[in-house]
Amino acid sequence: MNAQLVLAAAGSGSPHRLLLPDQAGDPLELVRQLLGDAELQARRSAVGALRLECGQRRLGASCLAAISSRLAEAELGPITVAAADPLTRVAAAALGLEWISPHHLQVERAEQAAQLDLTSQPSQSSQPSQGSPVHQQLTLHRGTVRSGDHIEAAGSLLVLGDVNPGARLSAGGHVLVWGRLRGVAHAGCHGDQGARIVAMGLQPLQLRIADVIARGPQEAPPPGLAEQASLSAGAIRIDPASPSWPLG
């Protein structure tokens, strides 16, 4: 599998993305082959920041330095390294390159998806528009919700960050947390039994959907797996989360 360069739209403010495959192959040679592609050269924008997405690959400092130099020659940069392997991130830091973890990458993509969803809505008032299900009206909160905080939403609520113990979330629709949920969450607070609570790390002190209350699971959630709480036969159950929005 070859490396791929995903070009950002002009004026979008987003970086270009260079994706390295997880399979075997010399990373520097893959980058050289990609940048030497004639078709790519014909349509590539002149300059721009670039995110090098390494996946699970382990890249040493010398390899990253060579890749960075080759990208600079192609007028692509500065580069940010997105890597799952901690030693790759250490190598990037040693070279003075900015790096991000997969978690931060997921948060950024969720934020972008939420922005697209918000801009597609005809109205973002606190009350749902006539004829529109309440859970499709989305309120977005960025950042950690700390102990003592209480965030309420007429429709669904999306939190891009952690919810600490002692914090509370209430929503007429779904409660969605792109982070760890360790406080109290109440979905369907106006009686919607189809509402769900979804989190990347589901360890709340208390779960509540409509009028049904349950304690959060005691065991740690599976790593890398988002979970959701929903009502089934009058009780709250925990399952792997749906990957789609709106939730069915």
Total tally of structural domains belonging to the chain:
2
Structure-token pair, residue 110: 């969720």
Backbone angles phi, psi at 68, to 5 degrees: -60, -40
Q: Is residue 87 part of a domain?
A: yes
pLDDT, one tens digit per residue, over 46-91 is: 557 888 888 888 888 999 999 988 888 877 778 888 888 888 888 8
Measured CA to CA, the distance from residue 30 to residue 71 in angstroms comes to 12
Contact between 50 and 20 (Cβ < 8 Å): no
Domain with 153 in it: what CATH number? 2.160.20.70
Which of 173, 88, 190 has the alpha carbon at shortest distance from 137?
173
Identify whether 198 is part of a domain: yes
Nearest to 133 by CA among 186, 180, 89, 195: 195
With beta carbons less than 8 A apart as the criterion, state whether 193 and 231 touch: yes
Is the Cβ–Cβ distance between 220 and 203 less than 8 Å? yes
247 within some domain: no
**Mean pLDDT throughout 11-23?**
76
Domain containing 64 equals: 4-100
Q: Are residues 170 and 96 in the same domain?
A: no
Distance in angstroms between the alpha carbons of the first and the last residue of the chain = 35
**Measured distance CA(81)–CA(63) in Å, rounded:** 13
Average pLDDT over residues 215-243: 79
Does residue 34 lie within any of the structural domains?
yes
Are residues 83 and 124 part of one domain? no
One domain, residues 15 and 121: no
The predicted pLDDT at position 10 comes to: 65
Q: Does the pTM of the predicted model rise above 0.95?
A: no
Q: Report helix, strand or coil for 43.
A: helix
Tell whether the model's pLDDT for residue 108 goes beyond 90.
no
- Asked if residue 60 and residue 79 are part of one domain, the reply reads yes
Domain boundary residue, one of 45, 72, 100: 100
Reported as type and span, the H/E element at residue 214 is: strand 212-215
> In Å, how far are 61, 81, 126 from 23, measured between CA atoms?
20, 18, 48
| 243 prior amide bond cis, ω within 30 | no
- Taking alpha carbons only, the member of 32, 20, 85, 74 closest to residue 49 is 74
Sheet of strand 48-55: strand arrangement: 4-6, 16-19, 48-55, 76-83, 98-100
Last residue of a domain, one of 100, 126, 157: 100
In contact, 3 and 20? CB cutoff 8 Å:
yes
177-214 pLDDT, tens digit per residue, is 988 899 999 999 999 999 999 998 888 888 999 989 98
Is residue 33 located within the same domain as residue 150?
no
pLDDT number for residue 2: 76
Whether residue 190 is contained in a domain is answered as yes
- Which pLDDT belongs to residue 172? 92
Q: Phi-psi region for residue 46, left (φ > 0), alpha (ψ -120 to 50) or beta?
A: alpha
**Highest mean pLDDT: which of 58-62, 93-97, 217-221?**
58-62
Give the alpha-carbon dihedral of 33, 34, 40, 46, to 10 degrees.
Answer: -110
pLDDT tier for residue 100 given thresholds of 50, 70 and 90: confident
Does residue 240 have a pLDDT over 60? yes
Is the domain of 64 the same as that of 163? Answer: no
Instruction: Tell me which of 55, 83, 100 is where a domain ends.
Output: 100
